[in-house]
Structure 1
Amino acid sequence: MHAETSPDGPEHHPEWGPFGVPLFDGPEAQSLQRVGVIDIGSNSVRMVIFDGAARSPAYFFNEKILCGLGAGFAETRRLNPEGKIRALAALRRFARLAKAAEVSPLLAVATAAVRDAEDGQEFRDRVLAEAGLDIHVIDGAEEARLSAQGVLLGWPGAHGLICDIGGSSMELAELKGSGKVGQRATSDLGPLKLMGITGGKKALRAHIKAELAELTKGFPEEPGRLFLVGGSWRAIARIDMERRGYPLKVLHEYRMTPKGILDTIKYIGKTDLEELRARTGTSAERMRLVPLAAEVLRVLVRKLHPKEIAVSSYGIREGLLYEQMSPALKARDPLIEAARHSEAQSARMPGFGRKLYRFVEPLFPRAKHDKKRLIRAACLLHDVSWRAHPDYRAEVCFDNATRANLGGMTHAERVYLGLALLHRYKSSRTGTGFNAELLKLLPEDQVREAEILGRAMRFGAMFAVANPIDHGTLVYRPKRKELILTLHSDEGRDLFGEVAQARFKALAAAMGVEPIVVGAA
């Protein structure tokens, strides 16, 4: 039996805590294994196969071909002939791969290029005949809704505006903060269509300004956050990272200020595109769209005045996965569900992470929900990298946390989680290959707290391999600067051997308190 779930999330469960009973192994989640999505866009054709058992999407397969179906559309109103040939070849391959991987369901959707082209239906008929794929063409409003749902997959309860740019269109959607998608609108502001605007830069900017004035009618002014979805936005974000010397090369949840992004747009205008392409690893096909996308983003930021801009790697494809989820699964924390799934798959003793969390929880009496979820995630993940070579285990743990394809975490939270897991296996960061520049993303007090969490997990995992709270409990008295371990039985006293004693003292030293043991022989 699963705990009942309210619209605000799972109820507090006496055994499993505020995050509820895991759903990843329930029938509703198991039915999402091997969900396939084929996204036929104006610039790219991509197939993703999700291992959807966890609330945070795992990419079993992910392949993209930049076919440019929408190239030249402004002049011909038809799909690019070369692009059709490449797209058909890719779709035949994808259909065979999906069959071999036993994908079910396999969803094929097409957006602006196929939707608007005179030969769009002809192309769909040919795909059905040659690849056996029945393509569902979605309109602009549906494209905006699915993109917004993709953002909700990574940010449950997100609020603000999402802006999804494709090759031939651009969509806006409102996120109301309650898991609901509000107003939606679409435009022709995709870079491939903007290539057809004549009259030079002045005419281009006037066109963009007029289109955006129409597109943004009725949307909230000055949204708190603008979520950017789409390959051209991600390419601009990579350039922003390069310009700033940003140390964590993870695009999802990357944050920018309006001033920062406008500075990057100026930087793009005065820097050689081939040089930028080489430095950021961007494809030539994508880079040629960047200057036009940057012009759109410049006007958009000045028009909307968002307080913050965030990059989402999740869009239509993830929105289609989200669509398949039950309300109970949608309400779950993606980080916690993914961590539970990882523990069940890879830990030596699945289920121990929950017990470890209860053991170390008293050390963080003032932790609010956002911090408790990080502590719980760390405890769930504390042992999933145990197969790594001992000399590199701490480094692997850090890299897995900071670079994993996980939703529901800011970059600062990634570094916090990574540091905690590093110190689960190693007392010092010296010799781990740790990039000290990453510490700039985390306040100093949080760096110290993550280290304390790591040392606490290191002690708890060594003290007892089953359920440490059965043998001893921790009490933290910050005013007295004391850390008290109370041993409950002869078994607890036997378990508190020399190595456990050393790790308990190391934990107390990191906290700056006196270690006290009660009940020792």
Structure 2
Amino acid sequence: MKGKYGIVDIGSNTIRLVIYQQDKSGRLKEIENVKAVARLRNFLLENGELSEDGINVLIDTLKSFQEVTRFHQLRNVKCVATATIRQAINQKEIIQIVQKETDFQIRILSEYEEAYYGFLAVVNSTSIHDGFTIDIGGGSTEITYFQNRNLKHFHSFPFGVLSLKKQFVKGNTPTETELKALKQFLQKQFAKLPWLKGKKLPIIAIGGSARNLVQMDQARKQYPLKNLHQYQMDLKDIVNVKNYLTSLSFDKLKQVEGLSKDRADIIIPAIEVFLQLYETVEATAFILSRKGLRDGIFYEELLKDIGSPIFTNVVEESFQQLAIDYEVDLKHAFQVTNIVYMLFRQLKDQQIGEWTDVDVQLLRTGALFYNLGQYIDPESSSQHTFYLLANRTIDGMFHKEQVELALIASFKNSSLFKQYVEPFQQWFSKEEQRKLRFLGALIKFAYHLNATKRDIVENIHVKVDEKGTIHVNIYCNQNWQPEQYQVEKQKKHLIKVLKREVKLHFLPINTKMMQLI
């Protein structure tokens, strides 16, 4: 697949056109996102027909989208419809009218397909192996249960935020009595699925209602990042947002930061669905996925040639895209990674520092993307490195993990480290910050051991003498003077973290390994 691709998603609440551009890494990057709040569900009559007014709203919306797709010269735009069109008894007539009046041909997704594509989006954009997905639309709610990244169960409930509001809420916001009735209804519905009860797994939520819930929580907490994908909340967080919203008048509700005005009258019923599912599952976390049904459809098509619609390793796939996007010199990066791993093994053997498997993986990744920001500006590379790695969506990584990576890959000195970590003080203990400074200093040291990119370092040996001084033997296959000059300046960062003297000894590779006294 090359070039631009478009998809029209005809939902029960909103109709959306998204246009993607395939970038140099092969990833589809969103370049246009046009939304219309059509609320087609409200045009579904008692007899199951989508009314003439509803069809007119659909056609008018699609014609407005058509102008955009024609401008971009898109051909064969995918056009999918979910619950409202699926439930309409006159769906064949709707399909014919759309085909006659517009450039689009509707594909009506089955309940399974709608659930499956949401699941596919989640497992291809997170590293979660076991959990539940939920996608609340206007007219249906899809829930899946997956184990080891394989779909085990799915169910499509014939209710969504619009139908729940119509059934239980008379005004713009629910009363206590209406919320109680809604709660009881949802508990009975979820109780029908024995595979939900007490699984104690995370819930990964898809769609606009979940996104608005997360945005409101971030605004209330003054969250230091703008990332939404893989943002985590717990039961208390959801309850706090709900209690805050139910305390407001409708006029005040529409002004809440993070809440779209067009969702103000349906957000509280949506949050009640999340709450009741959370309690039924006894969930460990509520996590947002920015990737949803539309992404799932493209994942299926993009990955069909490899025999499986699921990435083998989501994080590695993201890192590959990152390396391509920012033109990482992989030969140099791999040498830095090798050097830092040699240092790690020697320090571990000498019992210098306490190391975990997570530290080792972080070292490797930090070495791979150290100084990434030079792609933008070599003079302010550290600042750009931190911003890019902390704020770019990296599928498969939680926000704290991204900030850890950003802190070590951007390490320049203790002063800048303190500046970068300041908004995240509550995330990291002093001991964690010290460890991150150590990892950053180690990577910077390794980076400058390949300063001329000649790959001259062949081996490293570390020994501690009786005074506690750390001696580092660095065995090289070529003249090491440029590297020696650089690392002698960098070792001060290691000394500050370790609080021990460090002495460097550069030696030719054919020198017999010496035991330092």
Q: TM-score, normalised by structure 1?
A: 0.81
- Go from structure 1 to structure 2 and tell me whether the alpha carbon gap of 1:237 and 1:482 turns closer, same or farther (over 3 Å shift): same
* Rounded Cα–Cα distance in structure 2 between residues aligned with 1:385 and 1:411: 19
Match of 1:15 in 2: none
Of the candidates 184, 207, 226, which is equivalent to residue 154 of structure 2? Answer: 184
Match of residue 172, structure 1, among 120, 130, 143: 143
Instruction: Assess, with a 3 A threshold, how the Cα gap between structure 1 residues 368 and 273 changes in structure 2: closer, same or farther.
Output: farther
Match of 1:377 in 2: 365
Q: Give structure 2 stretches of 5+ with no counterpart.
A: 171-177, 349-354, 509-517
Query: Which residue of 150, 156, 159 corresponds with 2:130?
Result: 159
Ranked by relative contact order (alpha carbons within 8 Å, sequence separation 6 or more), the top structure is 1
- Seen in structure 2, the aligned counterparts of structure 1 residues 119 and 398 have a Cα distance that, compared at 3 Å, is farther
Q: Which residue of 2 aligns with 1:400?
A: 388
Q: Give the Cα–Cα distance (whole angstroms) in 2 for the partners of residues 111 and 319 of structure 1.
A: 14
* 8 Å contact kept, 2:204–2:286: yes
Q: CA RMSD in A?
A: 3.2
> What is residue 18 of structure 1 aligned with on the other side?
none
- Conserved in 2, the CA contact under 8 Å of 1:485 and 1:518? yes
Name the structure 2 match of 1:491. Answer: 479
Question: Does residue 344 of structure 1 match 2:318?
Answer: no
Asked if 1 retains the 8 angstrom alpha-carbon contact of 2:216 and 2:259, the reply is no
| Cα deviations by residue, 1:162-220 (Å, 9 ceiling, x for unpaired) | 1111121111101112x211110011231111122157604433433333333x34435
8 Å CA contact 2:337, 2:367 repeated in 1: yes
C-alpha distance in structure 2 between counterparts of 1:193 and 1:99, whole Å = 37
Structure 1 position 505 matched with structure 2 position 481: no
Q: Distance in 2 between matches of 1:394 and 1:417?
A: 13
Seen in structure 2, the aligned counterparts of structure 1 residues 32 and 182 have a Cα distance that, compared at 3 Å, is farther
Structure having the higher Rg: 2
Q: Distance in 2 between matches of 1:371 and 1:331?
A: 24
Describe the shift of the 1:75–1:291 C-alpha distance in structure 2 as closer, same or farther (beyond 3 A).
farther
Give the counterpart of 2:446 among 446, 453, 460: 460
1:20-55 Cα shifts (integer Å, max 9, x gaps): xxxxxxxxxxx4775544322222213141637758
Counterpart-to-counterpart distance in 2, 1:310 and 1:227: 5
In the other structure, the counterpart of 1:240 is: 217
- 1:198-244 C-alpha deviation (Å, 9 max, x unpaired): 57604433433333333x34435333211111110111122222333
1:343–1:268 distance in 2 versus 1, CA, 3 Å: same
CA–CA distance in structure 1, aligned partners of residues 344 and 254 of structure 2: 45
CA distance in 2, matches of 1:213, 1:399: 45
In structure 2, distance between residues paired with 1:156 and 1:175: 12
Q: Name the amino acid aligned to 1:405.
A: T
- The alpha carbon displacement at 1:270 in A equals 1.2
**Residue 228 (structure 2) pairs with residue 251 (structure 1):** yes
| Alignment CA distance shift 1:477-1:225 (3 Å) | farther
For residues 79-98 of structure 1, the aligned pairs below 5 Å read 80=54, 83-96=57-70
Q: 1:145 to 1:495 in 2, by over 3 A?
A: same
SS in 2 for 1:251: coil
What's the counterpart of residue 357 of structure 1? Answer: 337
Q: Please state if 1:320 is matched with 2:297.
A: yes
The aligned residue for residue 105 of structure 2 is 134
Residue ranges of structure 1 left out of the alignment (5+ in a row): 1-30
Q: Distance in 2 between matches of 1:263 and 1:86?
A: 40
2:79 is matched with 108
- Residue 245 of structure 1: CA displacement? 3.6
- Count residues in correspondence: 482
8 Å CA contact 1:91, 1:127 repeated in 2: no
Counterpart of 1:515 in structure 2 is: 502
**Residue pair 1:483, 1:513 contacting (<8 A) in 2 also:** no
CA drift of 1:445 comes to 3.4
**1:67 matched residue in structure 2:** 37
Percent sequence identity is 20
Structure 1 residue 62 displacement after superposition: 3.9
